Structure 1
């Protein structure tokens, strides 16, 4: 079992301590033609977005880029736009997560005396950090000029990182640092407990390290080659001890190597580096297969071409120029994760600690931020990249079978981090199954059944309290932390698991799971209309304040990155049950009104994840991101339309501080893409989309099989957020929702927009979206 009261992302971090290049400062504007709009890769690199601007291929293994910090929460990705100096360039990053890891194999092009430590952010001159200028990025490429005069350029293949450094005339060196993470805490498990560097006879530098940061005990291996032979090589071991001349191999915990050039500026120095999560042989093979030459420009051109196709999946015209850039940037960020894990030969580290081989033609993936991405990122991929969605589903089924804990929670580099709550790999599988994506879902059912019913099976903190949930119908707040959120999220996973049970032919289990999927109501007190902590003897927490995080925040909290306001609307799957539980349509509409208009006050110890407040609605975090769409279920869809338009325009900007919360491996970005198009998957497992309000006049989404969806809203303007009518393929469409099977066939969805609400559109019960497999009475 993974111990700890709460495995939230914030707590984990504290515990483990062709398009033109786009300049960060100038915020590039979109071109007139929608197809030419380039993403701004610096969106989300400031504020709390936690993105990074370095190059990757779509879903690639190598995610190369600059590191500006490795300690602060705001630099979880290794980069923050406000830091002002760069340590160097490492080969792996996480995009938008709320906890930090990766940052493997740092390359530092330097001049002058060799410095072995990065130094202080406030005083870059104290170490090898460099202030910088002329920073530019585009999909598949990055470049910057360092204060020491070195011009750095980066690009990638799927499994290799490419560097090109142009030094001024005179001596220079390239430092390879395997230990630039923050210092180890005395008495704690070292962040790096074993590492190796070796210089092979052919001049290839190989190495490995084992890291205990977020994915505890993960391994990374690399093989690195330089285009120019150095004049000498120096190794440094633990304690930054310089090794004897002629050393070609060093082992320890905190290792470095330096390649010295007497005239570094004589010609560009190129570096190509392959990585592997399996072994050095895998890294060598990846490098040999994907880097057979030294033509940097051709590699960069191929990366740009890969992104050109990926970024054509959604294009738009209308709206503002900045909004079109935000759309392109969101589409870019939505295709970084999950990231490739398997080597060219198919090998990858499994969640059981063993090395496995993916089936021929298949791949394994990492960085599944499932607590976040099941909501919109995976549903987006089922539309714009159904083949990729199918590959991810097959991978999740294999990981479900291999993991001792069953369905993955937050797998990273072959390690189950157990971060957040629930077992939200199952909704991804259930959604795909409901949408007709072919996979062996029955193969996942035994492990899902163990997680659902076997309370003696190996457990994670993310699924703590399952026995209480099953026996009592809720998790008592005095027996388990985050009890209110757990009860509701376990209920959603039961709803999803029931679909897999049914597909596997286990009808009795499916029926039991569907009954348990109603457990959400046992932590929502209808007497006060709020999600409320409930104790083992059945009584509710009193005096109750929905702004607070729990009945005893000094010991534990009753919600997961939320409070009572946000948890009250957490339900995604039984919305008509929730409406009835809270008193009917009018009462539920009033509750939503109150959510969006309450004072935006939070306790002093609220996690920074609760951000982007509109009233007590928090757009910067996932638990209530569907709340604006809930008006459609109680007969007030015009309020959905107005709020969605407001969120699209207020919560996203063409700016480094342009994502109001952690992007969370593309979830925040996917929310924008859906909402800007005019529909959203409130419950992905239901396989329908609730209509909102499109942001653009015309948008085009590329679907699988050569099909396209065209979304039209002629004359749409900032002052026309309300839907007057809808047509589907030229015929009137009276419903406030559309099914996936209909949308995925392709066609034309046309909105007539207006400045005043049409309260008759989609407000009648017959026009409202289905939920929990049923329609409103």
Structure 2
């Protein structure tokens, strides 16, 4: 595979402060740094699972190249190491650990018709094509296929645009409507109720139901081509050709080939609208968002939209690679959740019924909530408060409509129930605590059912709830992932108490806060580790913190973690945890041990446990707040050193530059916030703990004309330690700052040094946790 040098955005999307903050550059004694543009190939290698194709910010269409649809590292349909492209599909997932989507694959090619892609290992079989000159930027993608076709892609919110320039001679475009993510574990029917139809005016429409991850989700499309084909051939199940002249097909795995006797000359443009509701919604998207044939104007509009969105954070200082990582990270933070509302406001709810949002609102999909409640949603409350409001009001509606209450991992109108807990409640509680308007009281009845009904039936996300209520923990001999479940259920109780208060249910709120202390029931103080516990109250005797649990071959006791990582999972009761471990000194020693332990994992450890520093795993979410816990125990300089180390070691300006799955922007959001100098250890508390700013200067657009400026005076790679902080010109002794202060705008100034200082170490200056401060 060859690739051209990444082209910088020819617009204001460049995320540097060159020219914008000349005084900063002069103050630091150097020339203004070069601006950095997002590199959309960051995260497409390794285990990042991102894709480089064009999409709009939170757009419904994610158009892009598919290189593989069969292995874990191609969950997004693309991996940077692959050497052939199958075609271009209109929906993708960014950074997830499970694959789905890849709807409506378009294959522009020449030669004999091939109806199967062929294996990744042999690009000469099937309709796969080698490729070169690949280029990607926000809103636009280009590649040259080995058939000689130059393919360009761009998008609007609900439509995907193609421009395929063919060499002279015959060619064809295959639409593979059977294409999807495949997995060795898939059993039974994966696609059914599929149909394709070609109208007299040349409009191709289709619908299908897919039973992969989001089982039973539906996709509908309407596609129009700028040049009518000379002939059309439909194919039914088993690639069976339909009779000549057929204008429609029904079945499960359908395809259609559009033939051109002379494909050269003017490029063939394709524009496709999609909908999860019906073909009418896809037709409307096509008619209203793509009325003409000006590909360049559409691409320019997409670039400009991204330029405005990416302009919300500007940085200066550090290296060009680090500024590129920042720009790329912010881009990935704005890809999802993805729009799920048709032009007329209709969407499919988690009750599988069609609903319509109120005017000015929108529905969304692809909420990776087990991941994104930690940093992505907090980031949006800062730099995209209007978008954050749309998302939280959508989650309130989904909580009301869903038979399962607060969403777990909703995808395309389907509650997948993936992962544990129901962390939509954290996003809603955080927004409520930050003053974002939504009808939280409307969410409370269904949320209360999830919180208090011991017989509540849903997916695996809330297994063991009855035991949790009766014993105060989930027993390891009753269900799997018991230790992590206990701690995450406790966090959701803490978050649910905020919603209960907003709904006027004060007694319920008090009960939930008491129950939010259940995390301690699976932390054995005698050994200082999260330890599997059985229904009779006894602990697993042969405990080994490296292992995944007491019977890892049958059931794990931790979720994508081992005993080391699960020990520090608690986010909301840091001072209770410090006391449980025996005080500041012992807790600091335990944290030190986590970061310095041998990075040994059992042979059956999941690949999610990655990015190890000792036994700390940055490549997965359960530990991503842990470096900041030193600040609660009076050792913020250890937080500062470790955060700077993680920024340096866990992110690169390369395709494998995301240490684990990006998880719909969560891992990127960690970098964005941490590199600015603060992080939400407990989002529901609505405060940020200080770390170590990576950049010399940053400017955040908070909306409404408000701006936050962050300065790091004397910053350098060997000067990660905070010596002092000023907020709006006045000394600031606290090692944290509240959201309500930051969102007013102003200047946050760090003075950096090469040695630790006493800044933020006094008990009165440590961050609040569980509604209280450290004890002096």
Aligned counterpart, 2:230: 231
- Specify which of 761, 767, 770 is matched with residue 769 of structure 1: 767
Residues 431-510 of structure 1: pairs in structure 2 closer than 5 A: 431-510=430-509
* Corresponding residue of 1:58: 57
1:526 to 1:32, Cα distance in 2 relative to 1, 3 A: closer
Aligned to 2:271: 272
Output the CA distance in 2 between the equivalents of 1:294 and 1:733.
Answer: 56
Counterpart of 1:745 in structure 2 is 744
- Give the CA deviation at 1:554: 1.1
Match of 1:7 in 2: none
Partner of residue 210, structure 1: 209
Q: In 2, Cα distance between the equivalents of 1:609 and 1:178? A: 32
- TM-score of the pair, normalised by structure 2: 0.96
CA–CA separation in structure 2 for the residues paired with 1:246 and 1:582: 76
Match of 2:331 in 1: 332
> Deviation per CA, 1:718-748, whole angstroms, max 9, x where unpaired?
1111111111111111110000000110110
Q: Show the counterpart of 1:652.
A: 651
DSSP 3-state at the match of 1:169: coil
* CA distance in structure 1 between the aligned counterparts of 2:494 and 2:456, rounded to whole angstroms: 21
- Between the aligned partners of 2:741 and 2:139, the Cα distance in structure 1 is 35
Paired position in structure 1 for 2:69: 70
| Structure 1 equivalent of residue 429 of structure 2 | 430
Q: CA deviation at 1:27?
A: 5.8
Aligned to 2:362: 363
Instruction: State the distance in 2 between where 1:551 and 1:184 align.
Output: 29
The secondary structure found in structure 1 opposite 2:264 is helix
Report deviation, 1:424: 0.2
Following TM superposition, by how much is the alpha carbon of 1:186 offset from its aligned partner in structure 2, in angstroms? 11
The within-5 A match list for 1:253-264 is: 253-264=252-263
Aligned residues of 1:136 and 1:143 also touching (Cα < 8 A): yes
Q: Which residue of 2 aligns with 1:343?
A: 342
CA distance in 2, matches of 1:375, 1:510: 22
1:156 alignment counterpart: 155
Q: Which residue of 1 aligns with 2:169?
A: 170
Deviations 1:126-170 (A, max 9, x none): 110011000001100000000110000000000000000000000
TM alignment of 1:547-558, pairs within 5 A: 547-558=546-557
Query: 1:701 maps to which residue?
Result: 700
Distance of 1:186 and 1:662 partners within structure 2: 20
2:103, 2:180 within 8 Å by CA — same for their partners in 1?
Answer: no
C-alpha deviation, 1:328, in angstroms = 0.3
Cα deviation code 1:666-725 (max 9, x no counterpart): 000110010000000000000000000000100111102111110001331111111111
Shift of 1:193: 2.0
Shift of 1:438: 0.9
| CA distance in 1 between partners of 2:185 and 2:596 (Å) | 48
Aligned to 2:112: 113
CA-CA distance at 1:353 after TM superposition? 1.0
1:285-296 to structure 2, matched below 5 A, reads 285-296=284-295
Change (3 A) 1:482 1:392: same
Deviation of 1:179 after TM superposition, in Å, equals 1.1
Measure the CA separation in 2 of the matches of 1:190 and 1:26. Answer: 43
Q: Is the 8 A contact 2:40 2:137 kept in 1?
A: yes
CA displacement at 1:26 relative to structure 2: 4.5
| Residue 297 (structure 1) aligns with | 296
Q: Is the 8 A contact 1:589 1:634 kept in 2?
A: yes
Do 1:54 and 1:142's aligned partners in 2 also have CA atoms closer than 8 Å?
A: yes
The answer for the alignment partner of 1:12 in structure 2 is none
Are the aligned partners of 1:27 and 1:655 in contact in 2 as well (CA < 8 Å)?
no
- Is residue 621 of structure 2 the alignment partner of residue 622 of structure 1? yes
Give the C-alpha shift of residue 575 in structure 1.
Answer: 0.5
The CA distance in 2 between the partners of 1:494 and 1:183, in whole Å, is 37
Q: Does the aligned pair in 1 maintain the 2:16–2:314 contact within 8 Å? A: no
CA change 1:680–1:92 in 2 (3 A) is: same
Q: Give the structure 2 partner of residue 713 of structure 1.
A: 712
DSSP 3-state at the match of 1:713: strand
Q: Is the 8 A contact 1:24 1:656 kept in 2?
A: no
Q: Structure 1 residues 32, 498: closer, same or farther in 2, change over 3 A?
A: closer
Alignment of 1:528-677 (within 5 A): 528-677=527-676
- Paired with 1:187 and 1:491, the residues of 2 have a C-alpha distance of 34
Q: Deviations over 1:192-247 (max 9, x none)?
A: 12211100111000001111110001000000000001000000001101111110
Q: Deviations over 1:549-582 (max 9, x none)?
A: 0100111000000011111100000000000001
- Deviations 1:55-91, CA, capped at 9 Å, x for gaps: 0000000000000011110010000000111000000
2:142 is aligned to 143
**Aligned-partner Cα distance in 1 for 2:265–2:673:** 51
> What SS does the corresponding residue of 2:621 show, helix, strand or coil?
coil
**1:184, 1:191 within 8 Å by CA — same for their partners in 2?**
no
| 1:104 equivalent in alignment to 2:103 | yes
C-alpha separation in 2, matches of 1:106 and 1:532: 48
Residue of structure 2 in register with 1:403 after alignment: 402
Question: Would the alpha carbon gap of residues 434 and 38 (structure 1) be closer, same or farther in structure 2, given more than 3 Å must change?
Answer: same
Contact 2:15 2:311 in 1 (8 A): no
Equivalent residue pairs, number = 754
Q: TM-score if structure 1 supplies the norm length?
A: 0.96
Contact 2:174-2:257 within 8 A present in 1 as well: yes
Provide the rounded CA distance (Å) in 2 between the counterparts of 1:188 and 1:375: 34
CA shift at 1:25, angstroms? 6.3
Unaligned runs of 5+ in 2: 9-13, 21-34
**Does the C-alpha gap of structure 1 residues 24 and 393 become closer, same or farther in structure 2, counting only changes over 3 Å?**
farther
CA offsets per residue over residues 490-518 of structure 1, 9 Å max, x none? 00000000000011000110011011000
CA RMSD of aligned residues (A): 1.3
1:117–1:180 Cα contact (<8 Å) kept: no
Q: Say whether residues 1:755 and 2:762 are aligned partners.
A: no
Q: CA deviation at 1:455?
A: 2.1
CA distance 1:695–1:24, shift in 2 (3 Å): farther
Match status 1:414 vs 2:402: no
Distance 1:94 1:188 in 2: 22
Distance 2:374 2:553 in 1: 31
> CA 1:32–1:394 in 2, change beyond 3 Å: closer, same or farther?
closer
SS at match of 2:713: coil
User: 1-side partners of 2:52 and 2:700: how far apart?
Assistant: 25
Counterpart Cα distance in 2 of 1:108 and 1:476: 52
Helix, strand or coil at the partner of 1:209:
strand
- Deviation of 1:33 after TM superposition, in Å, equals 4.9
Cα deviation, residue 295, structure 1: 0.3
Local SS of the residue matching 1:242: coil
- On the 8 A contact 2:100/2:181 being kept in 1, the answer is no
Give 1:24 deviation, angstroms.
5.5
Other structure's SS at 2:622 match? coil
In the alignment, the residues of structure 1 paired with residue 315 and residue 416 of structure 2 have an alpha-carbon distance, to the nearest angstrom, of 38
Contact 1:703 1:746 in 2 (8 A): yes
